[in-house]
Amino acid sequence: MIGDDEMITIQTEVSRSARLRGVLAVFQTPFGEDEAVDHAALTGELRWIIDQGADGLVLGMVSEVLRLSDAERRQVVRTAAEVAGAEDVPLIVSVGAESTSVALRRVDEAVELGAAAVMATPPLTSLIEDEQLAGYFGTLLRHSAVPVIVQDASSYVGGPLSIEIQARLHSEFDSQVLFKPESVPIVPTLGALLEATGGRAVVFEGMGGGALLESFPAGIAGSMPGAEVVWAVVALWKALRAGDGARAVRIDEPLREMLRLQRDLDSFIACEKFLLAHQGVLPNRVARGPSSYVLQADVMELLRNLFDRLVEACRIGT
């Protein structure tokens, strides 16, 4: 028989995870020309994201977390938490690390600063066997006071997580664990995870909104796109929820073409910062290097054209 304290804990976990729905935007970290974090620009970007209709904020891979020092990461989370708290939206913080002990410290820091959930990739620099991965995520889940989102970012960093491991985590931790599968092909992977959990797992589309059209019917909880055209992903999500297939297809076409230009982490960052600067959201498009991707003039022109098409697609029918 479940005791009162245990029931309160279960209800709290469900309540916390219930807020994690819809379009949760991964913000970019603005830098000055000296590559120092520009917190004033970050605050402006975060408020802009919320003004576009996003349901929450996320510090993730395209936030350049791998290129931030621990001190910088804490300050960025602090700034994001202040905005999220003032606007009453959830903040999700990436805590993945190359060791369990570092990841646990990051979980504690994120929770202390006000994160509604944390998100963890597996270690990225080595291939870990399934049993060790299950132990890594299980330790984080048992330790964390907030829900943990398991992120398979293997389409651009690290190795893929097996469906079996993710299903086992869901079976053991239920509403405390959520999922962001990005292993390609994304739609079959997402569908397999939902099938393996009896459709009960909370799963987010993680391909910038480019797989929303196909994955929405499976019963996903939302999307975690970059911030650059979050207004378009919000419009697409609303169209899908309203059953407006024609509008969803109109928005999906230029959005998908735009995302095809983003093939790895460095190209995601470059294209997203270009588009944020194009809209005046960021004062520049400075990203930390070294980078494997340089944005060429022809790609910039293509991005501008696709941006205009996307604006028009979202305007039609409104």
> Any idea what the CATH number is for the domain that residue 72 is in?
3.20.20.70
Give the residue ranges of DSSP H helices in the chain: 4-18, 39-51, 70-87, 100-113, 130-143, 163-173, 186-196, 212-215, 230-242, 245-260, 265-278, 297-315
Cα R_g (the chain), whole angstroms = 19
pLDDT of residue 10: 44
In angstroms, the CA 94 to CA 77 distance is 10
Q: Does a structural domain hold residue 55?
A: yes
pLDDT of residue 238: 98
In a domain, 186, yes or no: yes
pLDDT digits (tens, 9 = 90+) for 76-135: 999 999 999 999 999 999 999 999 999 999 999 999 999 999 999 999 887 788 899 999
In this structure, is residue 94 part of a structural domain? yes
On whether residue 247 sits in a domain, the answer given is no
Q: What is the pLDDT of residue 168?
A: 96
Which position has the token pair 């979980």? 107
- Residue 89 and residue 55 in contact, taking contact as beta carbons nearer than 8 Å: yes
pLDDT at 19: 83
pLDDT in tens, the chain (318 residues): 435 454 434 444 445 667 899 999 999 999 999 999 999 999 999 999 999 999 999 999 999 999 999 999 999 999 999 999 999 999 999 999 999 999 999 999 999 999 999 999 999 887 788 899 999 999 999 999 999 999 988 767 777 789 999 999 999 999 999 999 988 888 888 889 999 999 999 999 989 999 999 999 999 999 999 999 999 999 999 999 999 999 999 999 999 999 999 989 999 999 999 999 999 999 999 999 999 999 999 999 999 999 999 999 999 877
Residue 293 counted as domain residue:
no
Q: What does the pLDDT read at residue 161?
A: 87
CA distance linking residue 186 with residue 241, whole number of Å: 21
pLDDT, position 6: 47
> Residue 296 falls within a domain, yes or no?
no
Q: What is the pLDDT of residue 11?
A: 42
Kind of pairing between the strands at 204-205 and 148-152: unpaired
Asked whether residue 156 is assigned to any structural domain, the reply reads: yes
The number of folded domains in the chain is 1
Q: Which domain holds residue 90?
A: 4-242
Tokens of 120: 């963890």
**Within-domain flag for 263:** no
Q: How far apart are CA 107 and CA 100, in angstroms?
A: 10
pLDDT at site 228: 98
C-beta of residue 261 within 8 angstroms of C-beta of residue 267: yes
